[in-house]
Amino acid sequence: NNFLAAIVGNVALAKMHAQPNAEVFTRLEEMERASLRARDLTQQLITFAQGGVPVRVPGTLPDLIKDASTFVLRGSNVRCKYHFPNDLWWAEFDQGQIIQVIQNLIINADQAMPDGGVVNVEADNVTVTAAYRLPLKPGRYIRVMIEDNGIGIPKENVNKIFDPFFTT
């Protein structure tokens, strides 16, 4: 975290020398947000390594999802199209974990579409009941769907995608 504090501090100093409407200022703001997320993720990893539980806080997902996906698609010819209802519920979630999941899925979509394309990102409110027969407690949930039109997953890997540390 000391290294990240130095980065955040230097980015703040650099912002003082940039015009707020300049592209460099926008890039510095993105660096600052990414550094703060990295700091939070580092703290969560430390907590997890020490046997702690995820740090869940109440919040809304759309801005978090947009920031996470925009960050990993910088310089890519892939873009996201978002569909979030205005009445999307608040939820309690671990920001670091959600960011990591969204970024990994968007990176996979980007890699699956080397010629470019669109990733559809949607979220909606779902009330789960026992009739759904899902491994979830009945209650209110937010479903997040990420869809691309890339090359797909090879058949031999489909059964492995949820294995810890699986990669291609």
Contact partners, residue 85, CB within 8 Å, separation at least 6: 123, 124, 125
Report in angstroms the alpha-carbon separations of 59 from 56, 63, 84, 95, 96.
Answer: 9, 10, 15, 9, 13
Q: Roughly what angle, to the nearest 10 degrees, separates helices 62-73 and 95-112?
A: 40
Where does the pLDDT of residue 168 fall: very low under 50, low under 70, confident under 90, or very high at 90 and above? Answer: low
Where does the pLDDT of residue 53 fall: very low under 50, low under 70, confident under 90, or very high at 90 and above? Answer: confident
Residue written as token pair 């990102």: 121
The structure's pTM equals: 0.69
Which is it for strands 91-93 and 139-147: parallel, antiparallel or unpaired?
unpaired
* Angstrom distance (rounded) from CA 107 to CA 109: 5
| pLDDT over threshold 70, residue 66 | yes
- Residue 165 phi, psi dihedral angles, 5° rounding: 70, 10
Where does the pLDDT of residue 36 fall: very low under 50, low under 70, confident under 90, or very high at 90 and above? Answer: confident
| pLDDT over threshold 80, residue 120 | yes
